[in-house]
Chains A and B, each alone.
Chain A
Amino acid sequence: MPVSLQKSLETVSVKCSASHISNNLTINRSSELRRSTMYGVSHKSGFTMATVSEDGTKRIQGQVICRVAGGNSNTTAPEIDARFTVYVIQAAFVNLPIRNLLVLACTKSIQIYELDGTTNLHIHMLDKNHSNKTESSVYSRGIAGIGQNLLCVGNHQGEILVFNIPPKGTNIFLKETIHGHQFGITYLVSNANLLISSDTSGVILIRNIRTMSQINTIPCIDESGVTSLSIWNNCIVASYANGMIRLFDPENAQICGSIAAHARCINAIDCNEQGLLASVGDDCFVRIWKLSGDANNLQITHECNYHLENNQLVGVKFLNLSRADLAVSSYDSNEVIILRAI
C-alpha cells in the first residue's frame, strides 16, 4: 500500500524564518518521559524552537542567539560589524544516554546549550590556522553523539572534534581531534558501531566508534559533494548536491543503490525504522522512498511526491520512527509544515 501524504492543518510556527542551509530542521521526538515534540530551525545568527505537546494544545516557543565570537561586549553594535557576525551553520538536538543537549555549529565557534536553550554550557572557538587553502571561511558543521558521553562536531578543515560531555555541569572539554578529510565536513551520523562522515568533495569516511579508526572510504562519485547522510539497517544513505541519492554498504564501501531523485540540490534526508527515506530539495518537492532488504540485496521503491509550491525546502524529519508523518522546514518561512500519512 503506497504511502501518500497530506498537509496537516496544524503547522508549527517558530519565531523566526529558517535560513537556507542544509539539514535545517532538528527534532527532539516525544518519548515516554516527555510527551512533547521539540522542533528547531536555525535562523541567521540564532536558533528558534517550538515545543508542542502530543495533543497539540500546549505550545512554547524559545530562541537562542549565538554568542558573538570573541566575547567583546564593549564593542558597539557587534551585529553590524561583519568581523563579529556569527552564523549558525547547523543545529541539532543531541540525545546521549546520559544527557540531552542542543548543539549549535556556527562560524568561528561551536556552542553547546541545555536542551531548552536557556543555559549556555560551553563555547569552543575554532582554530583559525588552516593548512588547507581551499576553505577560507572558518565554520563547524556536522553534529553527532556517539557512545555514552561523546559529542562529535566537524569543522572546515575536515577534522572531527570529539568532546567529552559530563552528566551534569559545564565541564565539557575537547578529548581528541580526528583527521582524515581533506575538505570541510558536511554531515556526521552514527549508529551503535559506526561513525560516518562526509565532506564537500563527496568523500565519505566510515569509522569504528570504539577505536575511531577508519574502516572504509567511499570516494567521490561524479564530482558532487554530499549534503546529508542517514543510516538504515546498516546501509549508508547519502544525498548529493546534484540531486542524487546513493546507498552504500559500509562493510565493503560498495554502492548498493542510486536514485536520480531531485532536479535541484538535495538539502536534507531522513530515515525511519520502517525503511522509509524522505528527501527534500530546492525543487520544492518532498519525496518518500521505501527501502527493503539489506545492503547485499536492496530494493528501492518510490512511494510518493509532495510538492510545496514556491517553498525551497531545507529540512525534513520523521516525527515518529514507525510512521510516515514528517515535518519539513522551508527557507524564509517561519512555519514548520507537518505532513501526515493517509
Chain B
Amino acid sequence: MTMSVKFQIMLCPCAADIIKVTYNHVNSMRKLVRSSTVLDLLDKAFIAFNKQYERLNDVEWLLIRDTILFFFQDVHIRVSIFLRENLQTQQGVFIVKTNGIVPNGFQTPGEIRTYKRGRLNNTHTFNAGEHHEPPDDKRTFHLGLNIYSKSKSSNESLLSDSAVRRPSVMVNAASDIEMINPDPKMIAQLNLLSDLIGNSSGGDSSRSGLLKLSLFDDDEDEDTGPPIQKRPQASSTSNQRPKNEDITIDVSKRNQNPRLSHVLQDFDFDERSTRRGKKDDDDDDDLCAMMDRLPGSTGNKRR
C-alpha cells in the first residue's frame, strides 16, 4: 500500500495533480459507502479539502508533494502488480515515463525564443529527445483509480494513454460493485442457461428440485441398513425425473435383482465375516483388521 501511494505521488505529472488523485480516491470511496450519513460526511470532507487546496499555486503544491515524498524516501518495496505491469524495476525503482502528453499549463519542450527590447526577435527549435504532445484536458486521469479493477479496458493504462497494457490478473474489486448487483434480466438469462445445461432431460423439468426422503415409515419396522447403499441409486433416478412423485424403495425385495445383490455383497463386510466364520464385531472398529479382511490382503499381517 505504501508503494502504491508513493507511485501515485511520484508519477503525478505536475504536483497539483494530487488534487485529481484525491478526486479519484473520493469517487471510488463514494461507490463503496452505503450509509447516507457516512456519504454526507465524505462529501463535507471533500468540500473542505477543495476549499483549502484549490487556491494553492503550483510551487506551493511542490512543497506539499516534496513533504509527502520525505515520508516515502528510501522505500523500495517491490509490488507484484507493478512488476507485472512493467511499472517498477527489479530494484524497486519506479519506471518514469515522461513522453506523451505534457501536463496542463506546460508547453511541449522544443521551442527557444529570443526577445529584443521586450519584443519577439527570433524563434527556433531544439530536439527534446522524446516525443511530446500538447496538454489535453479531456483525457481521464488514471492515477488514483483502482489498479485491480476488472472494468478497465485493455486500452487504458495507469500512466500514459499511448502504452498498451498486457491484461493483468483481475479480481472482483469492490469498485465493480455495480457489476455484483446485476439487473433482473441478466438473472433470468443466467437461470435459463443453468437450466438448459444442468437438466438434460428437457421438457418436463421442474424448478423446485426438492427431494424428500422418508426413511422411516411410522407404520412399519424396517431394516435400515441396505437403503443406505441403495439411496444413491434411488436419488439418481429421482433426480432425473424431478416430479412430485413418490418413489418407494422396498427393502424386502433386496434379493430380487441378482446383479445388485452381487454388488451389495462386495460392499458388505458383515456378510463376509459371517462367511469366514468370524463373529468378532470388535474387529470392525479396527481399521487394520478390516483391511485384513479385504480380498487380496489375506497375506498382510498387521504391523
Contact = CB atoms under 8 A, between A and B. Distances in A.
A325 interface: no
Given A87-B70, A257-B112, A263-B109, A241 B62 contact: yes
Nearest to B107: A260
B93 interface: yes
A257 B115 contact: yes
Contacts of B110: 260
A19 B59 contact: no
A259 B112 contact: yes
Contacts of A263: 98-99, 102, 106, 108-109, 128, 130, 132
A307 B55 contact: no
Interface string B47-68: 0000000011111101101110
B7 interface: no
A226 B115 contact: no
A305 B114 contact: no
A243 B115 contact: no
B134 to A, nearest CB: 11
B181 interface: no
A328 interface: no
Q: Determine the interface band of chain B, counting residues with CB < 8 A from chain A.
A: 35 or more
A256 B109 contact: no
A230 interface: no
Contacts of A243: 102, 106-107, 109
Nearest to A283: B98
B182 interface: no
Interface residues of A, number: 62
Contacts of A21: 66
B201 to A, nearest CB: 63
Interface in B113-162: 113-118, 126-130, 132
Contact of B63 (A137, A223, A242, A331): A137
Query: A-side binding surface: helix, strand, loop or mixed?
Result: loop
A257 B16 CA distance: 27
A131 B219 CA distance: 97
A109 interface: no
Interface string A198-233: 001110000000000000000000111111000000
Contacts of A241: 14-15, 58-59, 62
Given A135-B60, A227-B62, A241-B62, A264 B98 contact: yes
Interface string A251-284: 0101111111111110000000000000000111
Nearest to B13: A264
B95 interface: yes
A22 B69 CA distance: 13
A257 B98 contact: no
A186 B60 CA distance: 10
A252 B63 CA distance: 31
A225 B58 contact: yes
A271 B198 CA distance: 78
A256 B114 contact: yes
A223 B105 CA distance: 9
A298 B114 contact: yes
B57 A201 contact: yes
B59 A310 contact: no
A94 B108 CA distance: 36
B116 A296 contact: yes
A85 to B, nearest CB: 9
A312 B103 CA distance: 16
B115 A17 contact: no
B239 interface: no
A302 interface: yes
Contacts, number: 159
A242 B112 CA distance: 15
Contact of B118 (A44, A255, A297): A255
Contact of B59 (A225, A296, A331): A225
Given A87-B70, A227-B59, A297 B116 contact: yes
A7 to B, nearest CB: 15
A136 B73 CA distance: 23
Nearest to B74: A17
Interface string A317-329: 0000000000000
Contacts of B76: 332
Contact of A20 (B55, B58, B69): B69
Contacts of B60: 134-135, 183-184, 200, 225
Given A43-B73, A44-B73, A261-B109, A299 B66 contact: no
B94 A256 contact: no
Contacts of B107: 242-244, 260
B14 A300 contact: no
Contacts of B111: 259-260
Nearest to A245: B112
A93 interface: no
B5 interface: no
A310 B126 CA distance: 23
Contacts of A332: 73-74, 76, 93
A262 B95 CA distance: 18
Interface in A57-114: 87, 89
Interface of A: 16-17, 19-22, 43-44, 87, 89, 134-135, 137, 139, 183-184, 186, 200-202, 222-227, 241-244, 252, 254-265, 282-285, 296-302, 305, 307, 309-312, 331-332
30 contacts: A16-B74, A17-B74, A19-B66, A20-B66, A22-B62, A44-B73, A184-B60, A223-B105, A224-B59, A225-B58, A225-B60, A241-B59, A242-B103, A242-B107, A252-B118, A257-B112, A257-B113, A257-B114, A259-B112, A260-B112, A262-B109, A263-B99, A263-B106, A263-B132, A264-B13, A282-B96, A300-B112, A305-B128, A305-B129, A307-B129
Q: Which 5 A-B pairs have the closest CB atoms?
A: A225-B59, A302-B126, A200-B59, A283-B98, A260-B107
